[in-house]
Chain A
């Protein structure tokens, strides 16, 4: 049976144990995300949304329940297998960009392909295409410390695209950006979604959530609402003219 769901979460629980204390960060969560969806996950801090993000990204493990990613049950996988899943199925975008400072933009973008064993010539081509898609035509050889926040986040988005992952996971992607860059990044996400990408954004900003198509809201480790957004805001993307160098 062909399953249109990229993510299926059933009865998901996450319990943190510190010494004798147990803290249940996620209490029996259930939801699905289908292909080509554009979903935002909202909630105050402590609501469990960050925990969920780490689990969806296979950075953290489930205590109970099921997480099926692109048809594969992620629960019992070995550490190496999880690394492969992260490499192949998930494209991460972090709030603080998380680029490697000693590598150029090009090298940063190529890195997931390096781990995937992709040939050098192919890597170069794919990386250039990805950087083009995010509007960074001539910044291939600059290092992160030579870039603004917005540019760095674009590099991070390009990096997330190169292995053609099943989902893009963004954790507060606009948290460290100014208004203009925020608009640009959201516009890029919307374009990517239009081109067929499945995107999940964790955010606490309603303005960001309004630009997505569905919002799942968390409180105290549980989903309190799961709503389609009627009037999705469309961000406008203006390519900056100070980038042609």
Chain B
């Protein structure tokens, strides 16, 4: 009906009549909304980027290790775990530090780590062989004295990358032994060993059984990686493994059980906390902005006192007067909201580019509808809430007094 349109037209004219004032009034809304849009866009982009990186790793494995290196996990533990539901296989890792690999043709010795792996390891990590081969199941069964080393170690010790067929001397607290080099692996510098404890660039690996024979109890399983059949159940399976290990070793919470999903969840939780915090701060800005709108609307009502008096004398009801001013308030807040959305998206685009260029993450900006719709709704809501009081004041003006107002 035209009378409502008339009210809204009056509201639009009022906002346009004082452009600078209207823009300044919107400022709090603009800042609050753009902050929310910025943080939700960036947070979403970062999360998706990390998730994509994580997916390059095998999401279906869980790592278990003792928090303080003790107690070590033994073969019976591995059997017991293999018998739990949802377990596809268990791969054992043992790290023997501070052994020495004497350099050929020199008196120096290279201090390095010997790692015992089992045949399941290839299920977990992408091993790219430069030369030769990885261990076979026979090597494990026979506990052969064979070794696979990194290209860096080969270069350091032998002076050449391809040292297949040569013997690697290993000295240290387990005596001296010289396994045959059967393969050279290329270890990617950037990749983490599943959970952030990289083996480093330079190490030698041998079958876990051989290492166990050589190093006794010390050679047994500092870390095991459990491969799951169903990765979505990793939380439940992690709990089961933890309980089993603690039970078997009569400890409480001595073991750290990590899966990529817990890491991703951890990152997610941090991102959510940051987003929540920034949204809260933005909420304060929106509130203050709303108060600013209400303040200006009170001024507007006073300025329009005569006009309101005239309209009332002609038959405008309180409702129509109220509508005019709530409409004006909403026009201001929604305009601010839309400007805030645009600024927020531009800022997010800009920040995404910066993050992409200075960090290993590559953020792809996607314009999410959810936050935009919510921002518009919140803007309308603020307009209504903070427009109601001034509108009420206008509607209740005494016609006689208003007409006298100059």
Contact = CB atoms under 8 A, between A and B. Distances in A.
B312 interface: yes
Given A59-B400, A80-B319, A100-B307, A86 B313 contact: yes
B399 A115 contact: no
A94 interface: yes
Please classify the interface of chain B as helix (H, G, I), strand (E, B), loop, or mixed, using the class held by over half of its residues: helix
A90 B201 CA distance: 95
Nearest to A116: B315
Contacts of A88: 315
Contacts of B3: 114-115, 117
Interface string B292-310: 0000000000000011011
B318 interface: yes
From B3, B6, B307, B313, name the one whose CB has the most chain A CB atoms within 10 angstroms: B313
Contact of B315 (A99, A102, A115): A115
Contact of B2 (A86, A94, A120): A120
B315 A87 contact: yes
Nearest to B17: A102
A84 B307 CA distance: 18
A54 interface: yes
Contacts of A100: 307, 310-311
A59 B313 contact: yes
A60 interface: yes
A83 B312 contact: yes
Nearest to B313: A92
A77 to B, nearest CB: 13
B400 A60 contact: yes
B310 A54 contact: no
B1 A115 contact: no
B13 interface: yes
Interface in A109-151: 111-112, 114-117, 120
Nearest to A50: B400
Size band of the A side of the interface? 20 to 34
B320 interface: yes
A80 B318 contact: yes
Contacts of B313: 57, 59, 86, 92, 98
A54 B400 contact: yes
B315 A83 contact: yes
Nearest to A118: B2
A79 interface: yes
B319 A112 contact: no
Contact of A115 (B13, B309, B316, B318): B316
Interface string A72-100: 00000001100110111000101000111
B356 interface: no
A159 B320 CA distance: 19
Interface string A44-63: 00000000001001011000
A117 B306 CA distance: 23
Given A80-B319, A120-B2, A115 B314 contact: yes
Contacts of B315: 83-84, 86-88, 112, 115-116, 163
Interface string B195-232: 00000000000000000000000000000000000000
B400 A79 contact: no
A73 B307 CA distance: 28
Nearest to B395: A79
B314 A111 contact: yes
A114 B317 CA distance: 12
B314 A87 contact: yes
Contacts of B400: 54, 59-60
A83 B312 CA distance: 7
A44 B105 CA distance: 127
A98 B305 CA distance: 12
18 contacts: A57-B313, A59-B312, A59-B313, A80-B317, A80-B318, A83-B315, A83-B318, A88-B315, A92-B314, A98-B310, A98-B313, A102-B13, A111-B311, A112-B315, A114-B3, A115-B317, A117-B2, A120-B2
Complex A-B, nearest 4 residue pairs according to Cβ-Cβ distance, in ascending order: A87-B315, A115-B315, A59-B399, A83-B317
Interface of A: 54, 57, 59-60, 79-80, 83-84, 86-88, 92, 94, 98-100, 102, 111-112, 114-117, 120, 159, 163
Given A80-B319, A86-B315, A99-B310, 11 more contacts: A59-B312, A59-B399, A80-B317, A80-B318, A86-B312, A100-B307, A100-B311, A112-B314, A114-B2, A114-B3, A117-B1
